[in-house]
Amino acid sequence: MHEGASRTRVLLVEDDPNIVDLIRANLSVRGYDTLVCADADLALRLLETEAPDMVLLDLMLPDADGMELCRQIRERSAVAVIVVSARGGERDKVTALNMGADDYMTKPFSVEELLARITATLRRTRVPPTPESTALTIAAGDVVIDLGRQQVTRGGEAIHLTPTEFALLRELATNRGKLLTHAHLLRHVWGPAYQTETEYLRVYIRRLRSKLGDDGAQLILTAPRAGYRFAPD
Amino acid sequence: MLEVTGLAVGFGEEQTLERVDLRVNAGEIVALAGEPGAGKTALVRCLSGDLQPSSGTIRVDGRVLSTGLRAAEHHGIAVVWQDLALCETLDVAGNLLLGLESSAQTLSTNRFYARAAGILADLGLTSLAVAAPASSLSGSQRGLLALAMALARAPRILLLDEPTAAMGASETAELEQLLARKRDEGLAVLLATRDIDQMFRLADRIVVLRQGRTQDELDPQDSHPDDVAALLAGGSVDGSARRQLIRLHGLADSLAVADPSSGLALIVSALAAALNLERSSISVVRADTAQTPAERVIVDGPNWLVPVTGPAGTSALITIRREQHAPPSRDELDLLGLYAGYTAAALERQEAEAAQLEAEALRRSRELQRQFLSRLSHELRTPLTAIRGYASSLLAPDIVWDEESQQRFLETIASESARLGRLVEDLLDFSAIDSGVMRMQLDWCQPELVIDAAIACLPDAWRERVVVGQQAGLPPIWADHDRLEQVFVNLLSNALRHNDDNARVTVTSAQRSDGSIELLVSDNGAGLPPELRRSPFDSTRRQRSATAGAGLGLSITRGIVAAHGGHIELLDTNVGATFRIVLPLEAPLPADSASRPVEEDEMASASA
């Protein structure tokens, strides 16, 4: 993650010159730095050398598979990724989230929507450690969540979570034993505009369970049609 | 485990099953051999509770099986039917888990798929993808899925009705391996099949069913495939000369199996040779509608008519034209019965092959359509994104844009709107052509003037790269000037856009000896990419590339030319691309859409 003082850097992977101009103009006027590229190799290189805070990734690149690029980015980094696609189908959305995207935006979009998604995703993916949670550590079975250092271990071994995954786990774990509704989780982890996007939650809960070794859903309990609950003490 | 005694079934007047006695033990595969019409399917339907026997009993572990599919299921009987009933709107997992205890609603999507994948993996059927829609499966895959569906219900007795009739070799092997494994795990299997080799590969016992009766029972260890063939044809296992003859005839059938498309012709030739007749004196005519099964050979003057019995009654008639008046001898009757069976099998194979080809073509065309729509969606949404994005930028309350930016945004909105407008025009044209409702304003027009008008539509920089060479004194043609102009604008701008600035485009026109007008648009550029060259006018076959649009232009061009009664083609050239358009002086009246080519009677080739 980038130092708080410097400007937020956005890596834009897009081949249409008009859309590049549109996004760049709107971001720079609002204080973001924008890096642009239209091919997968360069995108992965810039990810390393420029350490952007966020990637805006168009799925339909002329010479690359956007989904595959998304997966490769997620393999290398916990950077926030918003996928931009001309396909609005539910299946593409779930695929993108499964490939590690933090958010999915369908073309055409308005500038308000673009900015709102960028702000919400950045807020979620770089939460500074808050003072009251600094000392807090939550243990459940062999999983230990250190809220202050934003670290999770299982049987002493570190588990790598993306910021969104961590934010979701923190929300669940700090409300231990309480049933949190889908809407509550979406509102608190993703943002008010996401309240009905239950497939985001479904994809992330599954990924969290698999990373935590919670295959039997013993740690994060499912309340069918209602929400999720972190296993009580 | 499963015991059938004195079973009989009557359909109206006809007795489908007369007397069936049968036993299948746990951990045993019993093959049920029989020609089409022998009663295999009726027996399987009885055992599954789908058909009520008129007399006789079916016992499972000593208890009498009552009628009804549920009763059979309760006794642990599962069936793999010949016509595979899959739910086309569900995917593989949906079909597999349909109606199993923990229903789809109570499982999460992921667990649902994981469960389905688990079942398939346990069965070793890993070639089936759980998320593939049922409608996309090949005949072989459908067969394997139907087997998986039956086995997923953990039956104790499995009935299969010709499971591999429409299957490829590798899937057949997969199915056979799985059946053998399940047998070793204690499953009782009754396998109705016509594949004699399969019986010998799999079965512990072979029960021969003929004309509704269990004729005989063979142990594959000490019998020969020819014995089964002989029993099927109504003979008994006897004299070696007879055996040799039947083996020879079996060979004709095996050869026919190898090539379904010529199989029938081969069988007709073999029968002609066996009866010592000319090949042309035997013809096979398919029955239009299924008729009640006729078992006997009809003697009509000197001619013999042999009914061919398929799964749904008499499916065809073999007509044998002879010189002398004489009824067939007993040997000849046997031979005719044998060949009627081969013919039925060949007809079924032909049908299965045709159905498979049709399904394949449908799948391909759906896939192309899906790709086309996805590309089109991208083409439409891209300008729309720019328009909506720039407009909402200008409206954003938190920012005041400088003059230069405002100007740039507005210009892009204008140009992208125009691009969207052109795309929508194209789409409308395309769908008008596609549905045959394109309106034309026909009048006499000069081809040279149409070309000049098209060139005038091009941007200045492009116009000077066009060379026109035309024959003087071309006659006027009866055509829609604006539509033809569109044809040339499309062809010219394609040639100029996709080639570098050095490329030249030449348009020539001339009258051909038959009076029609020939127009050539050729460039000296790089030529069309190979994937486009194969079918340049089919918009659904385009790939997305950096420069291509929705790929509608050439489809529209061809549609317009066709509407004028002409045709367009891409010529095979070494350099660049050359399109040739041929237009009649006067287009014929609107083509009659009802006149479709008459379908060739597939039997004609067999009887010729």
Q: Report d(CA B263, CA B257) in Å as an integer.
A: 6
Tell if the CB–CB gap between B389 and A202 is shorter than 8 Å. no
pLDDT mean across residues, chain B: 80
Look at residues A2, A6, A8 and name the one whose alpha carbon lies nearest to residue A119: A8
A108 CB contacts (<8 Å, ≥6 apart)? B381, B384, B385, B387, B388, B389
Asked whether residue A81 carries a pLDDT value surpassing 90, the answer given is: yes
Whether A68 is in a domain gets the answer yes
Q: What is the CATH number of the domain that holds B549?
A: 3.30.565.10
Provide, as residue numbers in chain A, all residues whose Cβ is less than 8 Å from the Cβ of B406: none
Nearest CA of chain A to the CA of B427: how many Å? Answer: 18
Q: Report d(CA B151, CA B174) in Å as an integer.
A: 14
Number of folded domains that form chain A: 2
Determine which of A4-8, A38-42, B267-271, B386-390 has the lowest per-residue pLDDT on average: A4-8
pLDDT at B549: 54
Determine which of B18-32, B194-208, B296-310, B541-555 has the lowest per-residue pLDDT on average: B541-555
Q: Report d(CA B570, CA B191) in Å as an integer.
A: 55
Strands ordered across the beta sheet of B157-161: B63-64, B55-60, B2-11, B14-24, B213-218, B205-210, B28-33, B188-193, B157-161, B77-80
The rounded percent of chain B whose pLDDT value lies above 90 is 11
Whether A18 is in a domain gets the answer yes
Q: Does B435 contact chain A (CB < 8 Å)?
A: no
pLDDT at B273: 82
Question: Residues B211, B17: contact at Cβ < 8 Å?
Answer: no
Whether B269 is in a domain gets the answer no
pLDDT at B546: 40
Structure confidence by residue, pLDDT tens digits, A82-139: 999 887 777 888 889 888 899 999 989 999 999 999 998 988 877 665 555 555 888 8
Residues A32 and A120 in one domain: yes
Determine which of A61-75, B355-369, B412-426 has the lowest per-residue pLDDT on average: B355-369
State the average pLDDT over residues B111-124.
83
pLDDT at B258: 67
pLDDT at B603: 36
**Candidates A22, A86, A114; nearest CB to B390:** A22
Tell if the CB–CB gap between A108 and B387 is shorter than 8 Å. yes
Residues A26 and A115 in one domain: yes
Look at residues B219, B211, B214, B216 and name the one whose alpha carbon lies nearest to residue B236: B216
Chain A nearest-CA residue for B401: A29
Chain B nearest-CA residue for A26: B393
**Beta strands, E only, B47-204:** 55-60, 63-64, 77-80, 157-161, 188-193
Whether B283 is in a domain gets the answer no
State the average pLDDT over residues B422-431.
83
Which tops the pLDDT comparison, B548 or B198? B198
pLDDT at A3: 45
Taking residue A137's Cβ as centre, other Cβ atoms within 10 Å add up to 12
Which tops the pLDDT comparison, A169 or B286? A169
Question: Residues B410, B437: contact at Cβ < 8 Å?
Answer: no
Q: Report d(CA B128, CA B150) in Å as an integer.
A: 15
Q: Give the model's confidence band at B13: pLDDT under 50 very low, under 70 low, under 90 confident, else very high.
A: low
Q: Report d(CA B475, CA B451) in Å as an integer.
A: 14
pLDDT at B290: 54
Chain A nearest-CA residue for B398: A30
pLDDT at A22: 94
Residues A75 and A181 in one domain: no
Q: Which residue has the tokens 């300008």?
A: B383
Q: Give the model's confidence band at A1: pLDDT under 50 very low, under 70 low, under 90 confident, else very high.
A: very low
pLDDT at B599: 34
A66, A100, A125: which is the final residue of a domain?
A125
State the average pLDDT over residues B196-220.
85
Q: Report d(CA A12, CA A58) in Å as an integer.
A: 8
Provide, as residue numbers in chain B, all residues whose Cβ is less than 8 Å from the Cβ of A22: 385-386, 389-390, 393, 412
Domain that holds residue A206: 131-230
**Candidates A18, A222, A224; nearest CB to B416:** A18
**Beta strands, E only, B118-204:** 157-161, 188-193
Look at residues B147, B112, B106, B146 and name the one whose alpha carbon lies nearest to residue B131: B112
Residues A38 and A56 in one domain: yes
**Candidates A86, A114, A222; nearest CB to B378:** A86
B387 CB contacts (<8 Å, ≥6 apart)? A108, B413, B416, B417, B420
Residues in A whose CB is inside 8 Å of some CB of B read: 15-16, 18-19, 21-23, 25-26, 29-30, 60, 62, 86-87, 107-112, 114, 202, 206, 222, 224
B168, B201, B232: which is the final residue of a domain?
B232
Whether A31 is in a domain gets the answer yes
Q: Which amino acid is at B402?
A: D
Encode B290-331 in three state secondary structure.
Answer: EECCCCCCEEECCEEEEEEEECCEEEEEEEECCCCCCCCCHH
pLDDT mean across residues, chain A: 87
Q: Is B21 helix (H, G, I), strand (E, B) or coil?
A: strand
Q: Give the model's confidence band at B84: pLDDT under 50 very low, under 70 low, under 90 confident, else very high.
A: low
pLDDT at B544: 45
Q: What is the CATH number of the domain that holds A79?
A: 3.40.50.2300
Q: Return the top range by mean pLDDT from B229-233, B461-465, B548-552.
A: B461-465
Whether B12 is in a domain gets the answer yes
Cα–Cα distance list, B193 to B208, B215, B499, B547 (Å): 10, 15, 61, 56
Q: Does B401 contact chain A (CB < 8 Å)?
A: yes
pLDDT at B406: 93
Count of CB pairs separated by less than 8 Å, A with B: 74
Cα–Cα distance list, B298 to A53, B328, B379 (Å): 87, 10, 67
The number of C-alpha atoms within 13 Å of B75 and in the hemisphere containing its C-beta is 26
Question: Residues B146, B81: contact at Cβ < 8 Å?
Answer: yes
Structure confidence by residue, pLDDT tens digits, B222-260: 777 777 777 777 655 455 555 566 666 767 676 766 666
Determine which of A111-115, A178-182, B207-211, B407-411 has the lowest per-residue pLDDT on average: B207-211
Whether A2 is in a domain gets the answer no
Which tops the pLDDT comparison, A81 or A148? A81
A94, A125, A156: which is the final residue of a domain?
A125
Tell if the CB–CB gap between B389 and A222 is shorter than 8 Å. no
Whether A4 is in a domain gets the answer no
A96, A125, A154: which is the final residue of a domain?
A125
| Distance, C-alpha B233 to centroid of its chain | 33
Tell if the CB–CB gap between A30 and B399 is shorter than 8 Å. yes
Structure confidence by residue, pLDDT tens digits, B382-406: 889 999 999 999 998 888 999 999 9
Q: Give the model's confidence band at B597: pLDDT under 50 very low, under 70 low, under 90 confident, else very high.
A: very low
Determine which of A89-93, A204-208, B144-148 has the lowest per-residue pLDDT on average: A89-93
Asked whether residue B601 carries a pLDDT value surpassing 80, the answer given is: no
Determine which of A53-67, A152-166, B55-69, B173-187 has the lowest per-residue pLDDT on average: B55-69
Taking residue B127's Cβ as centre, other Cβ atoms within 10 Å add up to 12
Provide, as residue numbers in chain B, all residues whose Cβ is less than 8 Å from the Cβ of A29: 399, 401
Q: Which residue has the tokens 């022998």?
A: B38
Whether B598 is in a domain gets the answer no
B197, B232, B267: which is the final residue of a domain?
B232
Q: What is the CATH number of the domain that holds A162?
A: 1.10.10.10
Number of folded domains that form chain B: 2
Asked whether residue B604 carries a pLDDT value surpassing 60, the answer given is: no
Look at residues B526, B474, B469 and name the one whose alpha carbon lies nearest to residue B495: B526
Chain A nearest-CA residue for B546: A62
Look at residues B559, B576, B318 and name the one whose alpha carbon lies nearest to residue B568: B559
Encode B533-598 in three state secondary structure.
Answer: HHCCCCHHHCCCCCCCCCCCHHHHHHHHHHHCCCEEEEECCCCCCEEEEEECCECCCCCCCCCCCC
Chain B nearest-CA residue for A88: B377
Whether B319 is in a domain gets the answer no
pLDDT at A70: 93
State the average pLDDT over residues B315-331.
84
Domain that holds residue B9: 2-86+137-232
Which tops the pLDDT comparison, B410 or A6? B410
B193, B208, B232: which is the final residue of a domain?
B232
Q: Return the top range by mean pLDDT from B422-426, B470-474, B505-509.
A: B505-509
Provide, as residue numbers in chain B, all residues whose Cβ is less than 8 Å from the Cβ of A224: 106
The number of C-alpha atoms within 13 Å of B105 and in the hemisphere containing its C-beta is 1
Q: What is the CATH number of the domain that holds B75?
A: 3.40.50.300
Residues A14 and A119 in one domain: yes
pLDDT at B65: 78
Whether A135 is in a domain gets the answer yes
Residues A51 and A120 in one domain: yes
